[in-house]
Each structure stands twice: as C-alpha cells, then as structure tokens.
C-alpha cells in the first residue's frame, strides 16, 4: 500500500538536508560568515607556501630528541603561519609545511638553523618592543650547550603544602661554574636571569638562592604539568646537538595555486553537469534519483572535509572529481538490475527491492577493493598523494552511502507518490549473447602485442635517453631541482631567451645538466637541473626578481635529494605489489575460488603494463602522482572485474562442463556490458574535463588515467571472464588426465 505522505516527507527531508549542508558550507548564517567551506585547510599546492623535509645526520638520535626537534620546528614555523604543520617521518625525518607565506627565502634560511638558547643576567639585558619581549644583550651567562638536562617535575610548596609544577635543570661541569657565579651575584637583590630562545624571552625566573651544585629549579607559577613540560622541552631544544640536512623542499606561488583551484572546479562543474545529463537521458526516473544522490554526495564531502579537518590538495580535488564518475557506478549496477527484473515481469516495487538486493554484493566487493588501493596509496604515498588517497577513500564510503541509502529512499518515495509506471524506469531489452569466449584468442593476441610494444618502447627509450632511463622520470624519481617561473605577458619566450635562462642555471649549478621546457597554458618556463643548495636556489630566485622583474610569488621551486627519489621509486613498485596481494586475498576469500582471484590479478598486471606503455609513448613525467595513477587504475579495474565475476558466480550454479562454462561467461559479460560501458563513460567524462581544463601537473595525471580507464574497461569485458574460463578449462583437462592415470 502506497503512503504518499511518507514519500513526500522523505523527498523533502533529503532536499532540506542538501539545502542546509549547501547553505552552511557555501553561504553561512550571517553576513560576516561566508560558509564553513572557507575553513577547509588548503595544501601548499593550492594556498602556496613552503614545504621542506630535513633528515637528522650523524649518530642515531633518540625518539625524545626527534620529538624535541619537532617541537622546535613547530614553534619556528608558527612564526610565519599558524596553519603550519610539522610531522615526524621515517628514517629520522621531519617535514614542515607552511602555507600562504611569500618570503620563501627567509623561511628556508631560518628553519634549519641550530636552536639558540641563552641565559642572560638582568643587568646585561635590555627589553624593547611593544610588550618588552624583544631582548637586546651582548653577554650571556651560559648557553644551551651548557645544559645537561631539563625535565618537568612536581614539588611540594613549602607554604601551602600543595603540589606545584616546576622545571628541574641540570648543568654540565662548565655550565655549573658559570651559573654558580651568576647566582652568587644575583641572589642578594633577587635579580632575574632571563632565558632567551631564538631571540624571544621564554622565562624570567628570579634568583632566590645561590646555586653551586649545577641543579636549579624554575618555579614559574605553571598552572599545568604541560606548561612546565613545554618550557623544559624548549630548554632541551636549545641544547640539542642534532644536525639537520635538507633532503627535499618545495616553494609554491599562491597565484598558481589559485589558478589550479579555479580550473579544477570548472572541470568538476562541467563534468558533473554532463554526468547528470547522461543519467537523466539513459536511466530516466532512476537517473533523476541518482543525480540528487550525487548532489548529496558533493555537499556531504565538503561537510566531511571540514569536520575532519582534512587538508585539501590539488590531487585531492582530482580525487573528488574522479569520485563523481565512480559514484555513478553503484547506481548503474542497481538500475541495470531493476531493468532486468522489470523485463522478467516483476512489479516496479518488487523490481526496486530486488535490484538493490542483487546489486549489494557486487557494490560492496568492488568498493572494498578500491578502498584497499586507497589505503595502500595513503601508507606508501607522500605529500599531496596522501591528499588524493584521503579524498578517494572518503568519496568511496560516501558514494556507497548515497547510492545504497539515499537513492533507495528517493526511488521508494517517488513510487509512493504514484510514479509507478514501468516507462519511467525502462526495461532491459533482450540482448543477443556475444561470443566472448570463442574470440578469446583474438583478445589475448591484442594484449600480447600491447605487452611486446611496451617492452620495445622502453628499450628504445633507454637507448635514446642520455640518462639511460626507460621512462621520463620526474624530479620525484630522479632527484635534483626544478624551477617553474611565470613571466609577465610582455616577456617573449623564444629560443634566445631560453638559452639565456639556461646559462643562468649553468653558471649557478656549475653543471651542463639543465633541461628547459615551456609551461603549457602559461607564459612560463620549467627548468630542471642537478640538486642545488639553499644558497644556490636563493641566488637564482634573486636573479629572476631583480634582472627579469618576476614577482617572487610567480617562482616555484622544488628540490629532492637522490636518496629520497630512490625511496619513491621503490615505494611505487611496492605499493602496486601490496595492493595486488591484498586484492588477491580478498577476492579469494569472497569468491572462495583462487581462479577468480588469479584471473583478476593477471588482468590488473595487463592494465598496469598498458599504462606504462602510455607513459613511455607520451614521455609524460613519471613522479609521485604515478603511484596514485597506477593504484587508482588498479582499484577501478578490479571494481569492474568484480561486477562480472559476481554475475558469473550467480549464473554458474552447478554447471561445470566446458560448453556450460562457455555459455555462463558469454551471458555474464553480455548482461553486465551496459554497466561496464556506462560506468567507464561517466568516469572518463570527469577525467577528460580535468585533462582539458586542469593545470599541467594534474593533466599529467589525468592523461594516463584516461588510458587506464579505457584499458580497464577492455580487460574487464574481454580478458577477465575469458581468462577465468581458460584456466577453468585447463583445470578440467588436468583433472581428467589425473583420473585416467589413476
């Protein structure tokens, strides 16, 4: 029995939620508040700024030393931006991200210097500045190098008998003598000894006793243990003998980040409109429900990004846009099932229920395997790639929710309102079964030719490149320094100008290894050379600012050491292998048949090889986003494969003969063909928009991804099912021979 009131309320509720989320996210409740979306943190590639990674050298520092150093760096970074992030990494590394800064040279030169900690007598100190916090002095009692230890502690107050928080100091031998002399002079008048860290007074305790044993206690009226521990940490930092070496850095102009946001959003808007139009035309009423669910997905994504305080990067935006295309997949699977049930004569209400029930396993399995790829990408990736993995994973979860919950509510609500005619849903037309199995040798031959072409192309590349690499390794994988400089429109970029710029880099680097290329879509040049020191990079920046009148915000540079680039190459291979193994195990467990898992993994390797061929042919730079591209394709391709395998599992029953298996595979692939084409098409549309309108770094990611989508669709339709059949057929023959021999 239909309940029109309930149906209307459900639709209104969903629309109200979408409206509220959109309003609070993009508009806000007051004139001063522009919406919570403005609170979403932007990564360096969008907000501009400086990122630098240091590595501790020398003796292996303790975890406490590294944490103290991280605290020191955090305080230094926060001087430039309160949004700064300082994170401890593997192999005693510290990565610092400071968004929004313009004075990149000052930041880079100040971050890595050794912390300074001075103890200054009151008579030698002059304070200036608005709050008298800027110290001026010429003499010190002792420095951080004289400190043996500094720890937060608790003691009993002699007057109140309450516990109080203090900082206990211990001095080294020389420091003990210096401090004893200073306290002897200061004690009679209870004078102050200032503790100055990096040019700022962090404590000013008065001397209430002569301290001759090298053990002092600071009673600073600390309200909490954490306050005392913070001061102890800063004192320890000043004494920390850790030497830091820069292994990676990046300077991004804010204007370039703003341009990247605008072009990416435009690409997403156009792609989104095209996908909705496609869904409405092809799926009618269900397409309308899916479109509303997609809008729900988008506003929900913005809310989640804000709530979870996730830093949004340019690849992260690409992940959201890509997810719009992939979010359609679950809806397409469901709608195909509904049309099939209607073709069997089921009622609309029954068809909706059965459609969701039968599509559930394929949707869950497909999305879990894609989540595996996103998880591996997050663990093995770095920097902006983690941002892509984060938004991809969140998008997968949200798209499952909107497809399985929101779309279902909308369809049932529309049915309850009287929209129950079959013509609004469409009926799956009977399709002639395509003979995929019978043509498997042709498919295998095409794939074999592609594999050979990939090998040949790499051999040719290796022979033709001066560095001997089979692919065009970018900075992430080869190490070195790159500069991206955007010039004023009046500056003509011709061969003579390029030679002039090349000479600037050769003179500074003392190397002929300089490669210059024009930046697509901008009046600029990208220059790659050997690894340059901080001083050399600053000299080059000053040259462009002073001689060529380039604004510093339009100069980006990135520096990666050879050790880091080697790790990134290793991580790329390891990431794909780990993802493949995890997927193999998951499919094996879910389908309870190793043949399904083995066929899927072989097809994935097939797709990876094809994408490698595209990288080799186009000579697109192979860098950090290469990992993201490969794992996205792996996850996307396995998703499509699982839909077909799920249908094979459903159709096979107890049939085991070769003729029956042939029929099962042909029918299963034919039945899911519409889904395979439509999902690939919607995802392709979204990625195509990124490739056309996106900035160069995203374009280099989108082009191989488009090739991977096409190849993934081909392998899912033409390879996986027929490969599964071939292995099953071989198993059958082996079993018969074994029985005969017995």
What mean pLDDT do residues 382-394 have? 76
Would the pTM of this model clear 0.85, i.e. be above it? no
What mean pLDDT do residues 243-272 have? 75
DSSP 630-668: HHHHHHHHHHHHHHHHHHHHHHHTT--SHHHHHHHHHHH
What mean pLDDT do residues 450-461 have? 86
Sign of torsion, CA 537 539 542 546? Answer: negative
Q: For 481, list phi and psi in degrees, rounded to 5.
A: -130, 140
Instruction: Tell me the range of 81-85, 253-257, 545-549, 618-622 where mean pLDDT is highest.
Output: 545-549
Dihedral angle, C-alpha 400, 405, 407, 410, nearest 10 °:
-170
The overall average pLDDT reported for the chain is 81
- Helical H runs in 402-465? 407-416, 440-464
CATH code for the structural domain at 117-239: 3.30.1360.200
Span(s) in the chain for CATH 3.30.1360.200: 117-239
Give the single-character DSSP code of 403. I
Query: Which residue has tokens 């050790």?
Result: 563
Element counts in the chain: helices (H) and strands (E) = 22, 17
CATH code for the structural domain at 480-560: 3.30.70
Task: Render pLDDT for 93-128 as a digit per residue (tens, 0 to 9).
Answer: 888 888 777 666 667 766 766 667 899 999 998 887
**Pairing between strand 243-252 and 480-486?**
unpaired
What mean pLDDT do residues 719-726 have? 92
Task: Render pLDDT for 224-257 as a digit per residue (tens, 0 to 9).
Answer: 888 888 888 878 776 555 777 777 777 776 555 6
Is the pLDDT assigned to residue 74 strictly greater than 50? yes
Indicate left, alpha or beta for 79 from its phi (over 0: left) and psi (-120 to 50: alpha).
alpha
CATH code for the structural domain at 44-115+247-251: 3.30.70.3400
Range 597-624 burial, b when 16+ CB lie within 10 A, else e: bbbbbbbbebbbbbbbbbbbeeebbbbb
Question: Where residue 736 falls among pLDDT bands split at 50, 70, 90?
Answer: very low
Neighbouring CB atoms inside 10 A of 590's CB total 19
- What span, in angstroms and rounded, lies between the C-alpha atoms of 29 and 18? 16
Task: Render pLDDT for 121-161 as a digit per residue (tens, 0 to 9).
Answer: 999 988 877 666 778 898 999 988 888 888 999 888 777 77
Range 672-691 burial, b when 16+ CB lie within 10 A, else e: bbbbbebbbbbbbbbbbbbb
**Pairing between strand 134-136 and 117-121?**
unpaired
Apex 256 CA angle, 46 and 558, nearest 5: 80
Give the single-character DSSP code of 688. H
- What span, in angstroms and rounded, lies between the C-alpha atoms of 481 and 487? 19
Task: Render pLDDT for 510-559 as a digit per residue (tens, 0 to 9).
Answer: 888 888 888 766 788 888 888 888 888 888 988 988 888 888 778 888 88
> Under CATH, what is the fold of the domain 253-455+564-735?
Multidrug efflux transporter AcrB transmembrane fold (1.20.1640)
pLDDT of residue 121: 93
Helix (H) / strand (E) element for 142: namely strand 142-143
Span(s) in the chain for CATH 1.20.1640.10: 253-455+564-735
What mean pLDDT do residues 400-426 have? 87
**Pairing between strand 524-529 and 117-121?**
unpaired
- From the list 688, 714, 716, 717, the residue with the least C-alpha distance to 450 is 714
> CA 596 → CA 585, 591, 601, 639, distances in Å?
11, 7, 9, 13
What mean pLDDT do residues 703-723 have? 90
pLDDT of residue 327: 75
The tokens of 383 are what?
A: 């920097």
Is the pLDDT assigned to residue 625 strictly greater than 80? no
Is the pLDDT assigned to residue 402 strictly greater than 80? yes
Task: Render pLDDT for 319-375 as a digit per residue (tens, 0 to 9).
Answer: 777 777 777 888 888 888 888 888 888 988 899 999 899 888 888 888 888 888 888
Least confident of 131-135, 138-142, 487-491, 719-723: 131-135
Give the single-character DSSP code of 121. E
Apex 414 CA angle, 411 and 420, nearest 5: 95
Helix (H) / strand (E) element for 603: namely helix 594-618
The tokens of 13 are what?
A: 């509720």
SS3 118: strand
What mean pLDDT do residues 654-665 have? 84
CB–CB of 341/350 below 8 Å? yes
Is the pLDDT assigned to residue 20 strictly greater than 60? yes
Is the pLDDT assigned to residue 436 strictly greater than 90? yes
Q: Which of the pair, 303 or 719, is modelled with greater confidence?
A: 719
């Amino acid at each position: 029995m239909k309940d029109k009131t309930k149906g209307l309320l459900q639709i209104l509720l969903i629309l109200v939620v979408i409206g509220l989320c959109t309003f609070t996210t993009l508009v806000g409740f007051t004139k001063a508040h522009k919406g919570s979306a403005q609170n979403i943190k932007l990564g360096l590639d969008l907000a501009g700024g400086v990122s630098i990674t240091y590595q501790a050298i020398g003796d292996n520092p303790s975890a406490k030393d590294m944490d103290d150093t991280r605290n020191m760096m955090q305080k230094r970074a926060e001087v430039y931006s309160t949004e700064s992030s300082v994170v401890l990494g593997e192999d005693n590394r510290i990565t610092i991200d400071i968004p929004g800064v313009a004075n990149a040279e000052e930041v880079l030169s100040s971050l890595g210097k050794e912390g300074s900690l001075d103890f200054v007598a009151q008579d030698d100190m002059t304070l200036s500045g608005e709050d008298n916090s800027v110290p001026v002095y010429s003499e010190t009692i002792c420095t951080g190098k004289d400190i043996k230890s500094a720890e937060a502690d608790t003691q009993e107050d002699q007057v109140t008998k309450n516990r109080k928080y203090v900082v206990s100091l211990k001095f080294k031998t020389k420091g003990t003598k210096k401090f004893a002399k200073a306290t002897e002079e200061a004690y009679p008048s209870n004078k102050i000894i200032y503790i100055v860290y990096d040019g700022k007074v962090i404590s000013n305790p008065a001397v209430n006793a002569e301290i001759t044993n090298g053990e002092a206690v600071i009673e600073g009226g600390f309200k909490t243990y954490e306050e005392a521990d913070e001061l102890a940490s800063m004192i320890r930092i000043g004494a920390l003998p850790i030497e830091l070496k820069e292994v990676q850095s990046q300077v991004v102009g804010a204007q370039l980040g703003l341009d990247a946001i605008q072009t990416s959003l435009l690409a997403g808007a156009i792609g989104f409109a095209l996908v909705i139009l496609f869904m409405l035309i092809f799926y009618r009423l269900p397409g309308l429900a899916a479109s509303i669910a997609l809008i729900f997905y988008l506003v929900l994504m913005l809310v989640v990004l804000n709530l979870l305080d996730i830093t949004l990067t340019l690849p992260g935006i690409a992940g959201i846009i890509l997810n719009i295309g992939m979010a359609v997949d679950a809806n397409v699977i469901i709608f195909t099932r509904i049309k099939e049930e209607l073709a069997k004569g089921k009622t609309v209400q029954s068809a909706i229920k059965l459609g969701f029930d039968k599509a559930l396993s394929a949707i869950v399995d497909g999305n879990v395997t894609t989540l595996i790829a996103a998880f591996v990408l997050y663990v093995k990736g770095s920097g902006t790639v983690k941002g892509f993995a984060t938004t991809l994973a969140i998008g997968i979860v949200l798209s499952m929710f909107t497809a399985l919950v929101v779309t279902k509510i909308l369809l049932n609500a529309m049915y309850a309102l009287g929209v129950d005619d079959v013509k609004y849903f469409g009926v799956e037309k009977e399709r002639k079964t395509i003979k995929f199995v019978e043509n498997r040798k042709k498919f295998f031959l095409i794939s074999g030719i592609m594999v050979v072409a990939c090998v040949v192309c790499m051999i040719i590349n290796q022979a033709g490149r001066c560095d001997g690499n089979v692919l065009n390794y970018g900075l992430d994988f080869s190490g070195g320094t790159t500069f991206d400089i955007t010039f004023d429109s009046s500056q003509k970029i011709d061969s003579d100008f390029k030679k002039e710029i090349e000479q600037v880099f050769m003179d500074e680097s003392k190397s002929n290894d300089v490669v210059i290329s024009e930046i697509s879509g901008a009046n600029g040049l990208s220059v790659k050379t050997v690894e340059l020191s901080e001083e050399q990079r600053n000299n080059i920046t000053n040259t462009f600012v002073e001689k060529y009148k380039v604004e510093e915000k339009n100069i980006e540079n990135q520096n990666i050491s050879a050790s880091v680039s080697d790790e990134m190459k290793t991580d790329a291979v390891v990431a794909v292998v780990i993802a493949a193994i995890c997927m193999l195990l998951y499919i094996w467990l879910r389908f309870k048949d190793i043949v399904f898992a083995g066929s899927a993994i072989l097809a994935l390797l097939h797709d990876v090889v094809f994408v490698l061929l595209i990288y080799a042919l186009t000579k697109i730079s192979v860098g950090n986003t290469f990992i993201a591209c490969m794992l996205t394709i792996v996850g996307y391709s396995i998703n499509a494969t699982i839909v077909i395998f799920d249908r094979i599992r459903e159709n096979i029953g107890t049939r085991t003969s070769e003729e029956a298996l042939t029929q099962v595979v042909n029918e299963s692939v034919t039945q899911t063909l519409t889904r395979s084409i439509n999902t690939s098409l919607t995802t392709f549309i979204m990625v195509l928009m990124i490739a056309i309108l996106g900035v160069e770094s995203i374009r280099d990611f989108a082009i191989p991804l488009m090739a991977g989508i096409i190849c993934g669709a081909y392998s899912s339709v033409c390879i996986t099912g027929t490969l599964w059949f071939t292995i099953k057929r071989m198993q059958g023959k082996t079993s018969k021979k074994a029985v005969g021999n017995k």
